[in-house]
Structure 1
Amino acid sequence: MKQLDPGASPEEWFGNELRELRLAHKMSARVLGRLVQISDDVILYIEKGKYPSCQVELAKQLDEVFNTGGLFERAWPMVFGKRDADKKRADADKTLASRGEGAVQVRRGRILGRDEPPPRPGSHEPVDRRSFLQVSGIAAIAPIDLTQVFAPSDLSLPETVRPGHIVQVLEVATAISGWDNQFGGGGMVRDIASRAMQWSVGLLQATCPEPLRSDLFAGVSRLGIVVGASAFDSYAHDDARKAFKFAADCAEEAGDWHLRAKTYSFLARQAVWIGQPDDGLTYAEKGLVRADRLTATEQAMLHTARARAFGKMGDVRDCMVAVGQADDTFAQSRPSEDPLWMAYYDEAQHNGDTAHALFDLAILAGQDPGRAARRFDTAVKGHSDAYKRSRAISRTKLAALLMAKGDPRQAAAIGHKALDEVGRLTSRRAADDLRQLGAFSAKHPKIEEAVGLRERITATVSA
């Protein structure tokens, strides 16, 4: 923990007071962040005197939490007031200077009431985050590394954004999402997704009428989620993570809580998949910030992500609690309240996702495999042809569960059905699940059906 010098600056004095009170109350930064509706990263940056412009509303909330009698509110003008006034004057000057240029005007923190997005795990240093959308060119619309992935090249871009351009972005996102669910995220799907993202990111450089601004950022966020999902499925994990975080930034610029929740759900799922369940849990819980603004379906989606993180950790109690929370919130779902792009999260998807968490408990912690098997079976029966990848993955996991904990012959029969679908997908996630099924099959060398399945898996995965 960094040693603070309260006499070094007003900001460090303010931060020192906050840290002393937090520690005296034996409260973690995460808990305090939840109470005042900001991230734990922001709390720590304020304590270090490195957060540039704490809002007066936050100062009032801190006073309420610690019952200070107004200490932070009274100190706010001395610590942050002048800087806040200078920033407003600078913003006004920029607005006057840029009116003739028609640049997209940025209003930060429309979701969480802060002046800038807090650092996220694995993000660039704050100075880079503050550069988001502040200067001209592609560096202004994405984290620095992302410019190498999504920089527009020879694509034709309009000078001014029109409603039709936003409609195009959304329709392309819907189309790519559909292909991704049917065929997997690799191959042509990923190529098309990357090109669509290049063009859409380029739109953020064009002149945008103020009434269209939020819709533009929301549309690009939606496409960013789809592109990230495609990259995730083809194991381009670094590209996927950047796309999801970029989509989260765009969602916050648009003030869209629903898109923000979806990006954190994907970040959580990806982290769990690549063996970082603790990071996955953090992402899922960040997605649940202000859960009251999310639909019941979205809350269920994020609780499921928490369950999958706990399951991968082998944490039986917390995983079961999270599955219960996911079930309870999903029972309250009203599809008419959900964004159209949440239509995929139906009963089949919910059962498949929660079954993954219970699968890990069965394999890693010796828990009853029947709970996961029943949910996988419901998912397989419920997924339509529009969601072939999800159906194939659930069928493969069901076969793997039975091969490891149940009847190998029944598992082999289910596994062959899964292979019939997986063989037509360009999904490395689906291929990895097949490898797991093959490894479980190898434990039954005297059972002909298991041996035959393993041989077919080897031929399919290596083809």
Structure 2
Amino acid sequence: MPRPEKQLSPEASPRDWFGHELRTWRKLRGPLTHAELGVKVQVSGSLLEKIEKGTATCSQDLARRLDEFLETGGVLTRAWGMVFGQTEKPRPETESTPFGGVGISVQVQGGGTLDSARTRTSSESPASVDRRAFLTASGLAAITPIDLVRLVTPTAPREVPAQISPREIGQLKSLADVIHRQDNEHGGGGAVRELARGAIMWGAGLLPVPCSETLRPELLASVARLGIVVGASQFDAYAHDDARVSFRLAAECTEEAGEWHLRAKTYSFMARQEIWVGDPDTGLTHAEKGLVRSDRLTATERAMLHTARARAFGKMRDVANTLRAVGEADAAFEQSDPKQDPPWMAYYDYAQHHGDTAHALFDLAVHADEDPGQAARRFDIAVKGHGNAFARSRAISQTKLASLVMAKGDDPRQAVVLGHRALDDVGKLTSCRAADDLRELARFAGRYGSLSDARDLRERIATTVQA
């Protein structure tokens, strides 16, 4: 039987009062469990439980969503400023607003999460047991049986065609190309994030539209690729909840379409995101799933996924498995033939491969006292090989190289020079990941407090990341 919930003391502090108020409304409107309410407002149930206990901060956007769903009349939003307004600071991972800041529909489509069958109420179970089994096996069950489409589709009327035609599919492909290019050149924040948000709403909204059997696989593949590039830009902007929804949508589309190449790409990005946010075990699971039926993948795709495995092992400080995975990635990449790769894999070239594997070796050098030389050589190849079209990748590799030299080298002034070069690129980006890497470099530079060049670098980094 479930454990009894902890007694709350609303008089203890403003946070405790806020948590008690949230629990009161949650019980009144259900009663709902933390997990059930979390699905409705698109945050984890554990976060809501912590807010109720007064041990976690509630964002202003989350307070609004709670008010809207629980129909409180705005109690939590009005109280938010007095309780959290002076203390809330930006966090690397935010519980972000639903796409477009609008309400979410409560209709679930039957037959499969992406099928356009009859409407069912949200309390019913999914018709497809196989689909639920896939979600559970894929580690994506946190939001089932909620329809993935409605998580990115607003209730407001939107312009959709009466029937899917090649024109809509062409537009989806063009949107994905534009977002991919803009994201790599400028980062995932700012205008790119707004473009991505609108694109995924429109793309997901096409899935229930009538579509011929011959066009359906191409529609699913086009939405999947859009979900991948949008998720990647959201990941870069640290809109992690939004990114996970976009990646889940992409994964579902690839499964339904039987698109193995896009499936591999989706799981590669899902792995990278979880590794980045500090969950390398889940990241490794995603990478391994991407390698299922690797005989259907190109050598470049296998290299990409083995690199994700290496990065996961690197975060775990598992030297033997990291080196083994890097070796497997290198062996696969040696067999790469761009003519066999789908167009979206063109980014994974010589520079990208060396930069990605260098990240895994960086963790071994800095945290496991392994030789930094191999990581440094690979970062150098990545920096020299990335053109302006991949300014973010170049900046991140340059920053990590500077950090490596600052942490493990014997010439901090060389690291300072590399750091300033990275700042020349990062200053033009809206990338949370690039900014976090700069903060790491500043921490390493702090070891040389008596060196004026290192102090100057830290000051420039502080100015850049605050801009």
Indicate yes or no: 2:313 matched with 1:313. no
Q: Distance in 2 between matches of 1:154 and 1:409?
A: 58
Matched position secondary structure for 2:134: coil
Q: Which amino acid aligns with 2:460?
A: R
Indicate yes or no: 2:338 matched with 1:338. no
Identity %: 59
Equivalence for 1:253: 256
Shift of 1:460: 1.0
2:183 is aligned, of 180, 184, 189, to 180
Q: Distance in 1 between matches of 2:138 and 2:164?
A: 33
Shift of 1:118: 4.3
Q: Which amino acid aligns with 2:420?
A: H
Matched position secondary structure for 2:347: coil
Could you give the per-residue CA deviations for residues 382-406 of structure 1, whole angstroms, max 9, x where no partner exists? Answer: 0011100000000000001001111
Q: Distance in 2 between matches of 1:184 and 1:452?
A: 25
Q: Which amino acid aligns with 1:119?
A: T
Q: Distance in 1 between matches of 2:256 and 2:267?
A: 15
Q: Distance in 1 between matches of 2:132 and 2:296?
A: 21
Q: Distance in 2 between matches of 1:108 and 1:215?
A: 22
Indicate yes or no: 2:243 matched with 1:226. no
Shift of 1:459: 1.2
Equivalence for 2:140: 123
Equivalence for 1:147: 150
1:272 is aligned, of 275, 289, 294, to 275
Q: Distance in 1 between matches of 2:314 and 2:132?
A: 36
Equivalence for 2:202: 199
Equivalence for 2:51: none
Q: Distance in 1 between matches of 2:137 and 2:439?
A: 33
Equivalence for 2:433: 429
Q: Distance in 2 between matches of 1:157 and 1:377?
A: 47
Could you give the per-residue CA deviations for residues 256-297 of structure 1, whole angstroms, max 9, x where no partner exists? Answer: 000111111001000110010011111000000000000000
Could you give the per-residue CA deviations for residues 401-442 of structure 1, whole angstroms, max 9, x where no partner exists? Answer: 001111210000010010011011000000000000000000
Q: Which amino acid aligns with 2:432?
A: R
Equivalence for 2:218: 215
**Aligned residues, how many?**
346
Taking only aligned residues, the RMSD between alpha carbons, in angstroms, comes to 2.3
User: What TM-score results when the alignment is normalised by the length of structure 1?
Assistant: 0.71
Q: Quickly say closer, same or farther: Cα 1:233–1:376, change in 2 above 3 A.
A: same
More helix by share: 1
Shift of 1:121: 5.4
Q: Distance in 2 between matches of 1:461 and 1:272?
A: 22
Equivalence for 1:163: 166
Q: Quickly say closer, same or farther: Cα 1:443–1:161, change in 2 above 3 A.
A: same
Note the 1:235-250 alignment, pairs <5 A.
235-250=238-253
Q: Distance in 2 between matches of 1:372 and 1:341?
A: 26
The structure with the largest alpha-carbon Rg is 1
CA contact (8 A) 1:231 1:240 kept: yes
Shift of 1:450: 1.1
2:405 is aligned, of 398, 402, 405, to 402
Indicate yes or no: 2:393 matched with 1:384. no
Q: Distance in 2 between matches of 1:421 and 1:268?
A: 26
Equivalence for 2:465: 461
Q: Quickly say closer, same or farther: Cα 1:426–1:349, change in 2 above 3 A.
A: same
Equivalence for 1:85: none
Matched position secondary structure for 1:117: helix
User: What TM-score results when the alignment is normalised by the length of structure 2?
Assistant: 0.71
Q: Quickly say closer, same or farther: Cα 1:108–1:262, change in 2 above 3 A.
A: farther
Indicate yes or no: 2:355 matched with 1:355. no
Q: Quickly say closer, same or farther: Cα 1:450–1:257, change in 2 above 3 A.
A: same
Shift of 1:158: 0.3
Q: Distance in 1 between matches of 2:344 and 2:249?
A: 18
- Which structure 1 residue ranges, 4+ long, deviate > 2 Å from structure 2? 113-118, 120-126, 146-155
Q: Distance in 2 between matches of 1:363 and 1:455?
A: 23
Show structure 2 runs of 5+ residues with no match. Answer: 1-109, 119-126
Show structure 1 runs of 5+ residues with no match. Answer: 1-89, 99-106, 130-138
Note the 1:434-453 alignment, pairs <5 A.
434-453=438-457
Shift of 1:205: 1.4
Q: Which amino acid aligns with 2:456?
A: G
CA contact (8 A) 1:184 1:233 kept: yes
Q: Quickly say closer, same or farther: Cα 1:335–1:206, change in 2 above 3 A.
A: same
2:418 is aligned, of 411, 414, 417, to 414
Q: Quickly say closer, same or farther: Cα 1:357–1:125, change in 2 above 3 A.
A: closer
Shift of 1:238: 1.1
Q: Which amino acid aligns with 1:276?
A: D
CA contact (8 A) 2:271 2:286 kept: yes
Indicate yes or no: 2:354 matched with 1:328. no
Q: Quickly say closer, same or farther: Cα 1:114–1:455, change in 2 above 3 A.
A: closer
